[in-house]
Structure 1
């Protein structure tokens, strides 16, 4: 991922969503229209000028036929936990863990 130093997982998540949209052939304009967003606001979410929450990332990846999976694991037996977000193949049902309006910061990723 190509996140700006200091952005951590939020930058990684934005990169992941942008790359998945591009690989799926879905333009930002089309994605914004389908989700009821302005193209400007979607662009701001994907460039870090507005917050990209987990629910919005999930919706964007869902448009591309992917699902968002978030995992937390200890970095080492004595170290702090790390958070990782990845896109995976579509699931038969939506992940019940994600709650509306919960950003990655709540999980210690920023």
Structure 2
């Protein structure tokens, strides 16, 4: 059963955020909004431009991970494997500083 706040989010907030996301996308801007209607329950609206920065991608990974820190760390590690990083902690976890070359 949906809560009153979740229904409000679905009926009013999510459509408004979708409109803002579309406006941002049309302008070449990345957009992320996360709305929590009760602890642990949230909705997210996202549009990322090609080459968008790590900050917005980390924020999105955190939103997707929710209360699961392991999910966030794994997402950061995956990104770092593909794009490289400068993190001492990721290096300690065995993630190479430079992107790994894919076998062709």
Question: Do both share a fold (TM > 0.5)?
Answer: no
TM tier relative to shorter chain: under 0.3
Structure whose residues are more often helix by fraction: 2
TM-score between the two structures when normalised by the length of structure 1:
0.21
Larger Rg: 2
